[in-house]
Amino acid sequence: MSAGYTAAAVLFTIMAALLVLSTPTILVTSETVTVGRATIERRFVGGVEGFRGKDATAQRGTKLNGLAYLCIRGWIDPVVRIEITDPSDRTPYWLTSSRRPEELAAALSRN
């Protein structure tokens, strides 16, 4: 029994650590925006809009552009759409999950 409990505790710890380490970061500075592994200069960020509920589901589904960069997690419902205005980039927008979409949209809308 003790070997089973020990193995379960070790596996739980490893899985929890992997979940924490694999969580993507959203970082907004005065010069750049980083979502997961992608980074872009703030001057190429256009309109920013947050979505919740059915609107968020539609953004992840029927309204999704196939060229969009996605950094979404299924267990986080709200999403933020960040328009990309770089003429040399084919990506029309980034779509990312955020527990606080209004705060992220406000941070990106500031100059």
| 45 domain residue, yes or no | yes
d(CA 32, CA 30): 6
- Identify the bridge partners of residue 49 per DSSP, sorted by sequence position: 81
Residue 9 lies in a domain: no
Provide the pLDDT for residue 24: 87
User: How many residues can be counted in the chain?
Assistant: 111
Average pLDDT over residues 38-52: 94
- Give the pairing of strands 93-97 and 69-71: parallel
In a domain, 103, yes or no: yes
Per DSSP, the three-state class of 107 is helix
At 63, list the tokens. Answer: 């309204």
| DSSP-based three-state secondary structure for 53 | helix
pLDDT score recorded for residue 75: 87
Average pLDDT score, the chain: 93
In a domain, 16, yes or no: no
Domain with 37 in it? 25-109
Any domain includes 20: no
* 79 contact partners, CB below 8 Å, separation of at least 6: 50, 51, 56, 59, 60, 72, 95, 96, 97, 98, 101
Question: What pLDDT is recorded for position 98?
Answer: 93
Q: Is residue 64 part of a domain?
A: yes
The answer to whether residue 18 is domain-embedded is no
- On whether residue 68 sits in a domain, the answer given is yes
Our count of domains for the chain comes to 1
CA pair distance 9, 3, nearest whole angstrom: 10
The confidence score (pLDDT) of residue 44 equals 95
pLDDT at residue 111, rounded to an integer: 59
pLDDT digits over 50-89, tens only? 999 999 999 999 999 999 999 998 889 999 999 999 999 9
